[in-house]
Amino acid sequence: MKIIVTGASGQLGKDLVSILMKSGHEVLGYSRQELDITNQYLCESIICSQRPDAIIHCAAYTAVDMAETDADQAYLVNGVGSRNIAVAAEKVNAKVCYISTDYVFDGNSSMAYNEYDNTNPQSIYGKSKRAGEYLVQTFSSRYFIVRTSWVYGCHGNNFVKTMMKLGTEKSSLKVVNDQIGSPTYTVDLAHFLEGLIKTEYYGIFHASNTGFCSWFEFAQAIFEELKWDIELIPCTTSEFPRPAPRPKYSMMDHMAIRTSGLNDLRHWKEALREFIIQNKNNF
């Protein structure tokens, strides 16, 4: 397949481009500098000239806290930019795979969210990503919306790399223990996306590594794998106030993966173990 990847220089985008190429696809990866998704003319010019079979749309405004005071930019990128991609893709009959987030839910549930539960984002970031979902659904006739959570990998900034850095600087750390979710390794998510876009199983999917934990439990697992003796102290979200509200419970049920007969992602602990074995000497 001929595949365009937006946000190709980002945390997920870099691994995705590499995995797609290794799988034999013709891949055109565009960074923010190469493809400004907020420019409708540019989106149409590139997509209509390249005529891809599919577009995996990773480009996004992801500064969760900054979005609270920068709403126009968040909606411009996550909403309008996604509309531009979907409209241009439809002109060449390309599939669109939009990467979304657990932040479209309010986090007040006591059960895992499935793909058909009502969304209720609480932050500007979450609302702008939900706007992107809606616009892709409106303007694309062949779309996949893939919601994921707690993403980490060897590129960009993320929780695992932050813990590894702090672990070299401090002997004890306070970590939030009242937010529950599923860590997701970019390599595993990229492999899932590569398989998904070859299908015609259009619709909304929840895709994260299976299992769930709190940030505190995630940190425990990181230092256990590293065999570092770091004292971890559980704390509450209220002890670390942030401008944007975080979902307290954002575990997502993978109903669409099961009902489509697709292979689910492995357990988050197994993925974390592989990531640390391969990268512990790189940071």
The answer to whether position 78 is within a domain reads yes
The answer to whether position 145 is within a domain reads yes
pLDDT tens, position by position, 216-258: 999 999 999 999 999 999 999 999 889 999 999 999 999 999 9
Q: Which of 61, 98, 103, 125 is catalytic?
A: 125
The answer to whether position 40 is within a domain reads yes
Annotation says 113 is catalytic: no
The answer to whether position 260 is within a domain reads yes
261: tokens are 């007969």
pLDDT tens, position by position, 118-130: 999 999 999 999 9
User: Is the Cβ–Cβ distance between 183 and 216 less than 8 Å?
Assistant: no
262: tokens are 């697709």
93: tokens are 């009959």
The answer to whether position 165 is within a domain reads no
Instruction: Output the pTM of the full model.
Output: 0.96
C-alpha 240, offset from chain centre? 23
The answer to whether position 238 is within a domain reads no
CA distance 145 to 193: 10
**256: domain range?**
2-158+182-211+250-266
User: Residue for token digits 């939030």?
Assistant: 176
- The CATH number of residue 77's host domain is 3.40.50.720
The answer to whether position 200 is within a domain reads yes
Residue 283's pLDDT is: 63
Q: Does the structure show a pLDDT above 90 at 23? A: yes
The answer to whether position 133 is within a domain reads yes
Average pLDDT, the chain: 96
Instruction: Give the count of domains, the chain.
Output: 1
